Amino acid sequence: MQMLDSTILNTSLPTIAKDLNESPLNMQNAIISYVLTLAVFMPVSGFLADKFGTKKIFIFALILFSVGSLFCSLSGNLTELVISRMIQGVGGSLMTPVGKLALIKTFPKNELLKAMNFAIIPALIGPVLGPLVGGYMVDYLSWHWIFLINIPIGAIGILLSLKFMPDYRSTIIDFDLKGFLIFAAASLLLSIALELFGNTVHVTPVLTVLLLGFLMLYFYYRHASRDNNPIFPLNLFKVRTFRVGIVGNLATRLGISSVPLLLPMMIQIAFGQSAVTSGWIIAPMALTAMFGKSAVIKILETFGYRNTLMVNTFLIGLLICCMAIPVIHTSIYWYVPIIATLGFFNSIQFTAMNSISIADLRQYHTSSGNSLVSVNQQLAIGFGVAFGLIVLKIFQGDAKLIHNEIHNAFRYTFLVIGGLTILSGLVFRRLHFKDGENMRSKA
């Protein structure tokens, strides 16, 4: 449901922007507000699951996400849509980490990679159907239906959860409210700074907000070093695989995250094609991701985490750069093999990064480590979307460089984010050749 929602929205943004009398390039608020709400509230997920049980929290998250979807469909302007997306985000912030936590607590580490991989494959149906369903709904019904479709899916999810979802709790419950508020403030301020950077010509307020964000991170560091049970213990970062996984996730997604938004936008704005056409071009990305999931365990067993992540990141960056090759007169279907190949390697990348992050965590760090991985992932996606659109706006504003053709602005943007992705692969050099072996054995 979550993956369907995000991919449907990417292909539908230009149409929603037109209906709400907004520029398509200003519609990032609808995506970033959702992602940032996820990042802000995800730290609470572990505590709530420990206190009330994974089953109750997961069902509550499904209900909240469905209600938020209903409000999205009723939105009459961008502000209402952003607020509704934030309600969705609160539901989503509990849904993914709690579901993942249930898996982590059910399976031993030597079976966890296979279990996580198996569990994500059905979810990949969402990104396959999302661009297509979104395209057809927007062109033949109305954009409101891209949110209404979540309601029956949510109802099915609730019924299945009542029957199958395990109910894990913890006897040791101590929520670090002060740490949560400081960390949430830091996340918000850093994200707002990026948003302001994309929408203002004045540098001073941006730098002020950015400085405040880093100041709050410093306050959190001081708090965590003194508190007996901080929401994210600092000794998590003493685990090398966790540290590399967190930094690598952030660096790599900064380049990758904006592609599923920029490509449909380019196809509709620069090439003047319909939402359905952009949906058909994007859909293979998710289809090949399924093949990536089925191949990733064998690849990790053969080459190990270090080699896989370094080579895979380079290939992803190269493929993103290849999107800059077609000129305006080239057939848009030139993008299909690129996007299909990219989907395969993206799938391997995300599975490898997420599993290496938790590979060496102790049992008592499972909840906090899992929550921080999820928070980091959502912040990285939010930063990536904002960064991609900021670069696009910079190139769009230079009429001489792009020869008054917005297509060239998209091409240069793909070169920048592709180059950044290639460089991010250097982070994974910090891994040792044997890292992650406990995740691979018996897999």
Residue 314 has pLDDT above 90, yes or no: yes
What are 152's two structure tokens? Answer: 């029956």
Residue 67 has pLDDT above 90, yes or no: yes
pLDDT, average across residues 125-152: 75
User: Model confidence at 264, in pLDDT bands (50, 70, 90)?
Assistant: confident
Give CA–CA dist 402/404, Å, rounded: 5
Give CA–CA dist 433/426, Å, rounded: 15
Pick the residue with more confidence: 198 or 85? Answer: 85
Task: Tell me the pLDDT tens digit for each residue of 396-428.
Answer: 877 777 777 788 889 899 999 999 999 999 999
pLDDT, residue 442, reads 41
Q: Considering the chain, what is the average pLDDT of its residues?
A: 83
- Kindly report the CATH class assigned to 2-175+231-440: mainly alpha
* CB-based contact 84:413 (threshold 8 Å): no
User: Model confidence at 392, in pLDDT bands (50, 70, 90)?
Assistant: confident
**Which residue matches tokens 């607590």?**
105
pLDDT, average across residues 192-216: 76
- Residue type at position 222: R
Helix and strand totals (H; E) in the chain: 18, 0
Q: Which of 22-31, 57-66, 171-180 has the lowest average pLDDT?
A: 22-31
| Residues 6+ positions from 404 with CB-CB distance below 8 Å | none
Which CA distances in Å does 370 have to 70, 99, 143, 231, 357?
Answer: 29, 11, 34, 12, 9
* CB-based contact 436:113 (threshold 8 Å): no
Residue 439 has pLDDT above 80, yes or no: no
SS3 state at 433: coil
What percentage of the chain carries pLDDT values higher than 90? 20
| Residues 6+ positions from 219 with CB-CB distance below 8 Å | 182, 186
User: Model confidence at 321, in pLDDT bands (50, 70, 90)?
Assistant: very high
* CB-based contact 95:102 (threshold 8 Å): no
User: Model confidence at 438, in pLDDT bands (50, 70, 90)?
Assistant: low
pLDDT, residue 200, reads 57
Closest CA to 286 of 65, 176, 121: 121
SS3 string, 213-266, reads HHHHHHHHHHHHHHCCCCCCCHHHHHCHHHHHHHHHHHHHHHHHCCHHHHHHHH
Residue 64 has pLDDT above 90, yes or no: yes
Residue 443 has pLDDT above 50, yes or no: no
Q: Which of 27-31, 85-89, 263-267 has the lowest average pLDDT?
A: 27-31
Pick the residue with more confidence: 437 or 231? Answer: 231
pLDDT, average across residues 36-55: 82
Task: Tell me the pLDDT tens digit for each residue of 146-184.
Answer: 888 889 989 999 999 999 888 888 766 677 888 889 988
- Residue type at position 258: S
pLDDT, residue 364, reads 66
Rg value, the chain, Cα: 21
Pick the residue with more confidence: 58 or 103? Answer: 58
